[in-house]
Amino acid sequence: MPRLAKPLTELQIAKAKPKAKPYTLPDGNGLFLMVSAAGLKTWVVRYRLPGKSTHTPATIGHYPALTLADARVRALEIQRDAKQGIATAGTRKARQLEAVVGDAEQEAEALALAEAERATFRAVSGRWLAEKRIGWAAETYRKARLVVDSYLIPKLGDADMRTLETKDVRPILVEMAATVPQLARKARQHVGSIVEHAIHEGLRSDESALRLARILPTIRSGHMPAVTDDENKLGAVMRGIDAHENRVVRAALTLAALTVMRSGVVASARWSEIDLGAGYWNIPGKNPDGSNRMKTGQDFSTSLPTQALEVLREMHLRSGEGEYVFPPQARQNSPHVSRDSLSGALRGMGFQGEHTTHGFRASLRTLGRERLGIDVDVLEAQLAHAPKDEVQAAYARVKFKEQRREVMQAWADYLDKVKGGNVVEFKRKA
């Protein structure tokens, strides 16, 4: 029977340092840890078959790849098999370790290099992005990847996440704050989340979060530029869109204005979602790869006013045989028009800092309420803002369906009105 031994602890194993010669640390039940001169920690189980007078050593794996708990389970299995006369095959005998110290040293070095590479900021951030991509909208993932790949990896890519400290990150965030303050705030958020991911993977202790809260200078955050109090300016925006030379971009911007869907959703619209007969656009909450299409991740349906149907029928003549309503433009790698093409077009019209594609949502929220008298709950439902609870969500979907159809037609007619210059002096309600 294997000699009784005081069980090992994770702390003992972690503190076990290499010596001039290999040595062992017993755990009991025939299991012991052999520490080579190179620092390689190898699990070995000694078992004896019935009728045999000597024990047979079997190497079952290396720590930390094989944890203490798993090594104990494996040891029990080997001892059980031994009692039944079953030898453990496919393992090296412990006494062979001393004869192949050179190989062990190389193996230890390779293992250490692999562990070091796995712990780099580059590797951890890659695993973090892969995990987050499942639940994120495509645009959210794209922006996060941009920040990580363009700003963080060049400076922190080879940093060891096991020892990364706040002082290592601070200069990078401060430098970003001076040139791209909004991205600096995102970078700070992402670094914190990546460090938390490393903690979850066991690369860092639970109390090792970085202190990033007060690193960046306080800046006044603003909303995306949107025309909300100047009908003449909104009319100019609509006329600019009408005059845009690119038919695809013009149509996409028009649909964004008429439906106030987010630009990424508009750019990636599929013909399978469009019901021209019923006048509805049924948007899946998720993309085929499982990532969010809608920000809430929930399916959404919006009516299409007659002006939107006219635009879509024109596009159907051009792209109706394809998957996407708005095909990609020259030198674009995406399967559909880029959302950046839409915002770029508005900038090119001279509305930079005044109005964005996303800004049509704010325009409806403000002007729809103050000019058209639309109920706030109806507006919130059309904007696909997440209701506070499931009851409100169900109410919004059922109660406001017909009201939203009327509202969106009224909104489209209103945009035609301001586009034609038929406006009066704007007076904000108290």
Nearest residue to 251 via CA among 327, 349, 358: 327
pLDDT mean across residues, the chain: 84
Strand order from edge to edge, sheet including 300-303: 274-275, 280-283, 300-303
Q: How far apart are CA 86 and CA 169, in angstroms?
A: 55
What is residue 52's DSSP assignment? -
CB 368 within 8 A of CB 429: no
Structure tokens at 332: 């674009």
Q: How far apart are CA 397 and CA 393, in angstroms?
A: 6
Concatenated DSSP letters of 173-201 = HHHHHHH-HHHHHHHHHHHHHHHHHHHHT
CB 141 within 8 A of CB 135: no
Asked if the model's pLDDT at residue 2 lies above 60, the reply is no
CATH T-level assignment (fold) for domain 10-116: Double Stranded RNA Binding Domain (3.30.160)
Nearest residue to 188 via CA among 175, 198, 201, 203: 175
Q: How far apart are CA 210 and CA 121, in angstroms?
A: 14
Among the residue ranges 20-29, 103-112, 139-148, 334-343, the one predicted with the least confidence is: 103-112
CB 379 within 8 A of CB 365: yes
At 408, is the pLDDT very low, low, confident or very high (cuts 50, 70, 90)?
very high
- pTM for the whole structure: 0.53
Q: Which residues of 355-371 are buried (b: 16+ CB within 10 A; e: fewer)?
A: bbbbbbbbbbbbbbeeb
First to last CA, the chain: 88
| Domain 231-419 is found in CATH 1.10.443.10 | yes
Asked if the model's pLDDT at residue 98 lies above 50, the reply is no
Domain ranges of the chain: 10-116, 121-200, 231-419
Tell me what the mean pLDDT of segment 225-232 comes to.
86
Strand order from edge to edge, sheet including 23-28: 23-28, 31-35, 41-47, 56-63
Tell me what the mean pLDDT of segment 16-34 comes to.
88
| 121-200: CATH architecture | Orthogonal Bundle (1.10)
Tell me what the mean pLDDT of segment 311-323 comes to.
91
Q: 3-state secondary structure string, 105-138?
A: HHHHHHHHHHHHHHCEHHHHHHHHHHHHHCCCEH
- pLDDT tens digit sequence for 168-187: 999 999 998 888 888 888 99
Q: Determine phi and psi for 27, rounding to 5 degrees.
A: -120, -20
**What three-state secondary structure class fits 1?**
coil
Among the residue ranges 66-80, 149-163, 387-401, the one predicted with the least confidence is: 387-401
The runs of H, that is alpha helices, within 301-349 are 306-319, 339-346
